[in-house]
Structure 1
Amino acid sequence: MTKNNIYFPNLNGVRCIAALMVIISHLELNKSYFNLENHFHEVKHLGRLGVSLFFVLSGFLITYLLIKEKEVNGRIKISFFYWRRVLRIWPLYYFIVLLSLFVLPKISLFHIPNLHLDFDTNSQFFLVCVLFICFLSNLLISIKLVPFATQTWSIGTEEQFYFVWPLLINKISNLKKWFLSIIVFYNVLLFLLSFSFLDGIKYITIIRDYSASVQLDSLTIGALGAYYFHKNDHVIKRIANDVSFVFSILVLILALLYNFQVPHFNSSFYAFLFITIILNLVYNKRLLKVLEFKPFTYLGKISYGLYMYHQIVIVLCINILLKFNFENTIPLYILSIVSTILVAGLSYEFLEKPFLKMKHKWSIFNTSTNPKTVNNISI
């Protein structure tokens, strides 16, 4: 069977930028763990926004492909979708979990001061394992920190989204109404949960943290962008133009420089900025090549590995440099980023790609963000 080609320009470049935002934030965070001079408080919002950008991008890509499949075939093959997600997400996810629980805590070069993996009881260890296995790592992070696997909280969020989303797209006809309703409902829920009179409720902190981690606004705003893009709606023509793109980039740059916050609706504010930029990058003819160059394309292709391995590599690099009494930031940044790229590249070739090749039998479309590469529609 010949599969239709779907090509989205620039999006591997977007993945690359999102991954670098997270890495920079976590470099400074890990420097703080080692009591090194750091600027974590000045850049910590970069990591949060980098993950939000990943979510918006995932919501856009997944929703577009599901809508397109439903249009072409009349329905979505749910089992095919789930198998594609399993092959893309599970191998690296569970590899990182196994390393974090059973291997890295036993190696001194991965020691983090005052941050150890200890379990009070066997039942606590069992609970951690169950939450990891069930992709509830976004719930686990509020209960127990597992060094080197904290970043998996976002994978939990995505897997929960992937479980529900094709079922929704398959059944619902008025998607725009549903997407807008979900965005409004989610923001209202977060607003209500922020009230102080709820502080006395048992587990309210965990409830608030989990609700925030679900990030339904970012994912659904990405989905809404996919809906408009697929329909070639007049909204797209208003959004995807040079003025809108330049304005969005300037607002984003200023917001990043000054850590601009929108009370109660910060996540949605940035998600709308991100989807505006993404829609311009895939629709505006003047911008179709702006991020289409080989380094960005390659880093975007291996961005899942960059995201999953960077914490491990950063700690290793810090411990190695400290053994030589070397605390300079520039060598740490260079060594950490280059090493993370190397590890992620090797992982892509030898761990991830064998599973990605198996996706073909469950694929509906030949998707690509570069005509010469396989698209990895996940973070």
Structure 2
Amino acid sequence: MEIKKQFFLNGLNELRAIAALSVTYHHIEMHNGLNSIYKKYNYITYFTGNLGKNGVFLFFVLSGFLITYLLLKEKETNGTVLLKKFFFRRAYRIWPLYYLIFIISVIVIPLLAINFDIFKEDSLSYNQILNTHNYGIKSVVFYLFLMPNVALYSGYFITGCSQAWSVGVEEQFYIIWPFFILLFNKRRILQIFFSVLVLFPVFIFLAKNDYVLYPFSVIIKSIPFHFMAIGSIGGYFFFYKKHIIERYTKSKTSYFFLLCLILIFLFYPIFINEIQDVSLSFLFLILILFSINDENPWVFKNQCFSYLGKISFGIYMYHTLVMFLVFPFVNKYVVNFQAGIYYNILLYPLIFIITILFSSLSYKYFESKFIKIKDSKFKVL
């Protein structure tokens, strides 16, 4: 995987880490009901309330960028896209942890909640687990067939794996995107990317406003492919216009202003939600293009964050399980400080440290075994 060593690990793992930690922070605060110590500051409340989806959008843009670039590179190198190897690579990387978390969430977590009274201390998760609607046949089938996004938008909330909705979106994206690269020429591919970018927000708007019949409305709302299309446009232009992009992403000043602009969009609603999300995602794409330019000395590079990015899939998948385990104990033993700073001083380190520990052990002793198979049997570059 020479291309990966020379290019994709430089600066992108740090972005993955930031995205995964952002989602974790958001879910903790949402579980807290957006902590009251922040509510007096509207810009912090906006930042906190939207950080989770923004972290997911960063993941989506990254996925679109990387997959498109790699597929174009594969087509140039091999003259085709080896679909079988592509799908096996995705399956070996995603499915083992996905299904492990699913099994834990539908079997282990309910058993713990029912048999140990301590879990009643977290009423939000406990009531969600007791709601048998969330664990019906339809919900389980959605998860088994990699459609957790459809399950979530259908109103099924399974403690421990509802965050996997975005994994479902990416898996569905991976099913169709290789065919675009394989079947169409350079010009037509770009037309398709822009069509997805324009049409999907329109379809989702119509679905959200009841102009699309059920169940198609649920399916449309659950597949925001336009964020992947934004990344794919960047991957396309980086592949065909790499020298031009690298020339314009060397500037330290431009990188600084880009970070300032991203922070403004994270803390303040400039536009309506849909336009805000798309605009911020384009800024994320530009950030990716800056991050992969080794000639820009200001680009954020950090060994710790690089490692966290390496295990970021685990951080994303395990953090809700850890929240289920940690919240009841903190709620019981620090209940008098539940709305204050002492409560959070204990809560945050416990959740982040245990999540990173779980993710690190999972990557070393579980995920890496499948990654080795993926890299040894199905690599193409």
Deviations 1:56-88 (A, max 9, x none): 001111111111000000001100011111110
CA shift in 2, pair 1:60/1:178, >3 Å: same
Aligned to 1:184: 198
Letter in 2 for 1:5: I
Deviations 1:277-334 (A, max 9, x none): 10011136114x7333220111000000000011111232221223323541112111
> What SS does the corresponding residue of 2:66 show, helix, strand or coil?
helix
Which of 296, 318, 331 is matched with 2:346 structurally?
331
SS at match of 1:283: coil
The match for 1:277 is 287
CA distance in 2, matches of 1:315, 1:38: 23
- Structure 1 residues 128, 216: CA separation in 2 closer, same or farther (over 3 Å shift)? same
Quick one: structure 1 residues 263 and 341, their matched pair in 2 at CA, closer, same or farther if it must change by over 3 Å? closer
Q: Which amino acid aligns with 1:356?
A: I
Instruction: Describe the shift of the 1:215–1:248 C-alpha distance in structure 2 as closer, same or farther (beyond 3 A).
Output: farther
Supply the distance in 2 between the matched residues of 1:217 and 1:84 (Cα, whole angstroms).
Answer: 23
Match of 2:324 among 315, 324, 331: 315
By how many angstroms is 1:157 displaced? 0.3
Give 1:332's aligned amino acid: L
2:356 corresponds to which of 334, 341, 346: 341
- Residue 261 (structure 1) shift: 4.0
Q: What does 1:1-379 align with in structure 2 at a 5 Å threshold?
A: 4-6=2-4, 7-8=7-8, 9-32=10-33, 41-42=45-46, 43-107=48-112, 108=116, 109-111=118-120, 112-114=122-124, 115-118=127-130, 125-143=136-154, 144-173=156-185, 174=187, 175-195=189-209, 198=211, 203=214, 207-208=216-217, 210-232=219-241, 236=245, 240-242=249-251, 243-283=253-293, 285-287=295-297, 290-325=299-334, 327=338, 328-359=343-374, 360-365=376-381
Distance 1:65 1:81 in 2: 10
Secondary structure of the equivalent of 1:291?
coil
Other structure's SS at 2:272 match? coil
Cα offset, 1:184, TM superposition: 1.3
Task: Sort the Cα spacing of 1:285 and 1:212 in 2 relative to 1 into closer, same or farther, 3 A.
Answer: farther
Confirm or deny: 8 A CA contact 2:13 2:308 kept in the other structure.
yes
What TM-score, normalized by structure 2, do the two folds share?
0.85
> Structure 2 vs 1, CA of residues 239 and 209 (structure 1 numbering), >3 Å: closer, same or farther?
farther
Opposite residue 230 of structure 2, the aligned amino acid is: I
Deviations 1:179-204 (CA, angstroms, capped at 9, x unpaired): 112211222323444546x3xx653x
Displacement of 1:44 in angstroms is 1.8
| Amino acid paired to 2:197 | I
- RMSD between superposed Cα atoms in Å: 2.5
Distance across 2 between alignment mates of 1:98 and 1:38: 36
Q: Deviations over 1:100-123 (max 9, x none)?
A: 11110121355541432346579x
Give the 3-state SS of the residue equivalent to 2:315 in structure 1.
helix
| 8 A contact 1:183–1:220 mirrored in 2 | yes
Residues in 2 aligned to 1:329 and 1:306: alpha-carbon distance in whole angstroms: 19
- Decide whether the 8 Å contact of 1:119 with 1:125 is kept in 2: no
**Matched letter for residue 85 of structure 1:** R
User: Which structure 2 residue ranges, 5 or more long, are not aligned?
Assistant: none
Aligned-partner SS, 1:251: helix
In the TM superposition, residue 231 of structure 1 has moved relative to its aligned partner by: 0.9
Decide whether aligned partners of structure 1 residues 192 and 324 sit closer, same or farther in structure 2, where only a CA change above 3 A counts. Answer: closer
d(CA) in 2 for partners of 1:223, 1:275: 9
> Contact 1:31/1:37 (CA < 8 Å) preserved in 2?
no
- The total of aligned residue pairs comes to 355
Q: Which range is displaced more, 349-358 or 36-45?
A: 36-45
For 1:157, the aligned partner's letter is V
More helix by share: 2
